[in-house]
Structure 1
Amino acid sequence: MSERTRDVVTQLLTRIAEGDHDRTAELFAEPVDWRLSWPSEGHPAVPWIRPRSSRAEVAEHFRSLAEHHVPELNGTSIERILVDGPHAVVLGVIKQTVRGGGVAYTSPFALHLTVEDGLITRYHIYEDSLTVTRALTAS
């Protein structure tokens, strides 16, 4: 089971990096248990931080991220992937530059995923959303 989980996580990270939002969303179950850290109610400057549950909403999340950042300046890195059965934790650092204002930001992140029957059923990401929000409001 851990090998299958690792394979799905690797596919997810590859598709995110390629910017293929619809193919990325295909890896998710419906509904998906989706959670971003703060603010749970969202913020107008950061439209991708909000509740989601469907593949269409997952694709929209990644589209929104792409629309608000300069892809050529993305320096996000993965430091470690830990897998235990259906669960995986991805640790890394987000490095992005806001489109339009050029403000760069960096945030460590932890992503907790659960994979069942080859699909992602849990996507909980923990990041410094306050830093992200400040970068977007400064732009």
Structure 2
Amino acid sequence: MSNDTYDVVQELLRRMTEGDHDRTAELFAEPVDWRLSWPAEGHSAVPWIRPRSSRAEVADHFRSLEAHHVPELNGTSVTRILVDGTHAVVLGEIAQTVRAGGTAYTSPFALHLSFEDGLITRYHIYEDSLTVTRALST
């Protein structure tokens, strides 16, 4: 696999789309600087929104997302990938449907990634977590 920032971002997105959670987690350094933290105190409706630092926890994050959503109805899209050296920002829109209850929701997102030796060292995602929490709480 390439160490080029853009290539690793593309590989990450491909593995996420395929639902290959363990192979997705292999792209992350240990520890990883992970930020998906609202609500910071956690919420039972969104168990994947919590601190993480290991590959096993990264794989668990993506498994939990899949368990709570209908993968066949995932319409998440990427509109732009910006690269500056070992940093990348991925912009897009999350479009998911909640497995329990069928509530659909959308949220813009920005994902800030940093890389070292071809591995993701930072994964900070910014989204409308209130919309996500509300959709999963109904």
Moved beyond 6 Å, runs of 4+:
none
Following superposition, the deviation at residue 14 of structure 1 comes to 0.3
Q: What is the TM-score with the length of structure 2 in the denominator?
A: 0.97
* Partner SS state of residue 82, structure 1: strand
Q: Which runs of 5+ in 1 are unaligned?
A: none
Task: Quote the sequence identity (%).
Answer: 82
Q: Which runs of 5+ in 2 are unaligned?
A: none
The residue correspondences of 1:6-85 to structure 2 (distance < 5 A) are: 6-85=6-85
Q: Distance in 1 between matches of 2:116 and 2:41?
A: 28
Q: Distance in 1 between matches of 2:102 and 2:74?
A: 12
Q: Distance in 2 between matches of 1:37 and 1:80?
A: 23
Following superposition, the deviation at residue 37 of structure 1 comes to 4.3
Q: Distance in 1 between matches of 2:45 and 2:70?
A: 16
- Report the RMSD for the aligned CA atoms in angstroms: 0.8
Q: Deviation digits for residues 67-109 of structure 1, max 9, x if unmatched?
A: 0000111000000000000000000000000002000000000
Q: Would you say the 8 A contact 1:83–1:89 is kept in 2?
A: yes
Report the residue type matching 1:86 in the other structure: T
Q: Would you say the 8 A contact 1:32–1:54 is kept in 2?
A: yes
Q: Distance in 2 between matches of 1:26 and 1:118?
A: 11
Q: Would you say the 8 A contact 2:37–2:51 is kept in 1?
A: no
Q: Distance in 2 between matches of 1:10 and 1:116?
A: 16
